[in-house]
Amino acid sequence: MSLTMEEPTRTFQVVGKHDVQEDYKGSYRFAPIEEAQVSRAMIKRYFNTMYERAISDVVIIGAGSAGLSCAYSLATQRPDLKITIIEANVAPGGGAWLGGQLMTAMVIRKPADNFLREIGVPYEDEGSFVVVKHAALFTSTLLSRVLALPNVVLMNATSVEDLIVQTDFENRQRVSGVVTNWTLVALNHDTQSCMDPCTITAPVIVTTTGHDGPSGAFAAKRLVSMGLIKELGNMRGLDMNRSEPAIVNGTREVTPGLVMAGMELAEHDGSNRMGPTFGGMIGSGIKAAHEAIRMLDA
């Protein structure tokens, strides 16, 4: 708890041989630290995480509204699973920091408002839909809930560069992992000679990389270039009433080992976009969690 105006100094607390003091009248004293301790505190945890998560139970590609909803639903239902989220951007959240046209309010159609109550996001009820006063309130709350779950790891600033596809003895192909690199490395493949990636294997991969754009629809496009599907359906124009149920109900294992959710699915299936209404992303994320559990339990 921070100090009040009436109580501007917190008395001494001893760390090792040193006094520390929280004081806002000019005598604030930190516990001492060595530079190497800071580096080692980060390095040890980061590389232990990479080592431990090289084999995960579920990898979620993309931490937008669909990916984060999936992570929350899956991790709370199945605390036994090692769930690893790979997000290309430094800032997780995808397009869910704003509502639409750079405006802040976020619209969510019922019944996806159930999820808001579950994670504790306040809203105004407008009848058939609800409005969260700022999309960032939804995204930051969901992020904090997800990151607090002990079985979830988020590796941001990390890109999925490819899919691992294995072939069994009956010649059936199955997506069984992802190929990763730090995003700043991935962005420089054209400027540097070969910088090889790393891998994470998992029995279930959930892809939620959004619609086509600079980085979107990553797995959907890769399925085409690998010959696992013939062509993309390509996202159709905006139709809120058609698009949201199509995305939620269509969320599924699109190829063995790979569940597709969120707007990436619109590119795969050729379904409509919905614009700035996010209930479909929440529902699709939750459906993807159900799909992952079904596949793991099969």
- Give min distance, CB of 186 to ligand AHZ, in A: 8
The kind and range of the H/E element at 243 are: helix 240-250
Q: How many CB atoms lie within 10 A of CB 188?
A: 12
- Helices 279-297 and 240-250: crossing angle in degrees, nearest 10, is 20
Pairing state of beta strands 272-273 and 9-15? unpaired
Cα gap 38→104, rounded to integer Å: 37
Residues that bind ligand AHZ (CB under 6 A): 61-67, 86-89, 94-96, 159-160, 208-211, 215-216, 218, 262-263, 273-275, 278, 281
Cβ proximity to ligand AHZ: between 20 and 240 the closer is 240
Cβ proximity to ligand AHZ: between 67 and 203 the closer is 67
**Residues 47, 49, 53, CA angle at the centre, nearest 5°?**
120
Cβ proximity to ligand AHZ: between 211 and 252 the closer is 211
Report the sign of the C-alpha dihedral through residues 137, 42, 70, 269, in that order.
positive
- Give min distance, CB of 159 to ligand AHZ, in A: 4
3 state SS of 222: helix
Cβ proximity to ligand AHZ: between 22 and 161 the closer is 161
Cβ proximity to ligand AHZ: between 203 and 283 the closer is 283
- Give min distance, CB of 82 to ligand AHZ, in A: 18
- Give min distance, CB of 282 to ligand AHZ, in A: 10
Cα gap 203→129, rounded to integer Å: 37
- Give min distance, CB of 263 to ligand AHZ, in A: 4
